[in-house]
Amino acid sequence: MTAPEAATTVTTGTTVEYIRYRIPEERSAEFLAAYTRAAVHLAASPHCVDYELARCEEDFEHFILRITWTSTEDHLQGFRKSDLFPAFLAEIRPYVAAIEEMRHYKATAVRGEGSAVPTPYAWAGGAEAFARLTEAFYAKVVEDDLLAPVFAGLAPEHAEHVALWFGEVFGGPKAYSLTQGGHSHMVAKHFGLGITEAQRRRWVNLVQDAADEAGLPTDAEFRSAFLAYVEWGTRLAVYFSGPDAVPPAEQPVPRWGWGAAPPYQADGDGDGDVDGD
């Protein structure tokens, strides 16, 4: 490859572009400064999902720029033909000759998460914690004037099934999918219920009270992730219970992570960092 504007095969779907540079040590500071300026134009593009410039630890002359684009076509036909590209290229043009590779890559099925950050499921205490949650919650529901009619004739095993759902959503085993039928099964349970906004809000309030009673973690990060899912899930429940609901296509149970704030974990040296520095 000789220049950022060189043609490549156009594909569809989110893609990751990798650009590998070899920059002499004496030029590295100006290279980083140039990309800091160029990144302003990347960030302004509606076709750019995210980007990162990394430097090799073993050989400081090697750099890799990773850019996630909404699609390869959006990169080539959108960003490169936009008013943003000339200003971007002007900043990095002095380093084009130092490019060793520039290609688009598509993700494969080989992917996953490690264990450096615990899942919300593990952080909460696993299956037992969510079983306590749903037991406490449905004890409140059957006594509640707004929600009791919605859950009239509740099956004895209902709380257990919802505990499996919560567990799978927050990163635990796929027990709900394996035993109950997955996402479509849960959605179907809401058809025709006509859940009101007042009932939804009561559900949200009671499940938070139940989380307190069940001893779920009270740290800000867990509770913000927990409440974010509860808000999202209950609003979908209202929609799917309404007269205009359209059943969704088959899809897996949603997996809910930490969002913007993973759990705080002291690293043992007293500075509060999670990476040991």
CA angle 74, 76, 82 (to 5 degrees): 80
**How many Cα atoms occupy the beta-carbon half-sphere of 121 within 13 Å?**
19
Do residues 193 and 216 make contact, with C-beta atoms less than 8 angstroms apart? Answer: no
First and final C-alpha spacing in the chain: 38
Enumerate the β-bridge partners of residue 15: 69
Residue given tokens 């307190």 in the structure block: 212
Based on its alpha-carbon atoms, the radius of gyration of the chain, rounded to whole angstroms, reads: 25
Count of CB atoms situated within 10 Å of the CB of 169:
20
Any binding-site annotation on 161? no
Binding residues for heme: 185
Annotated binding site: 185
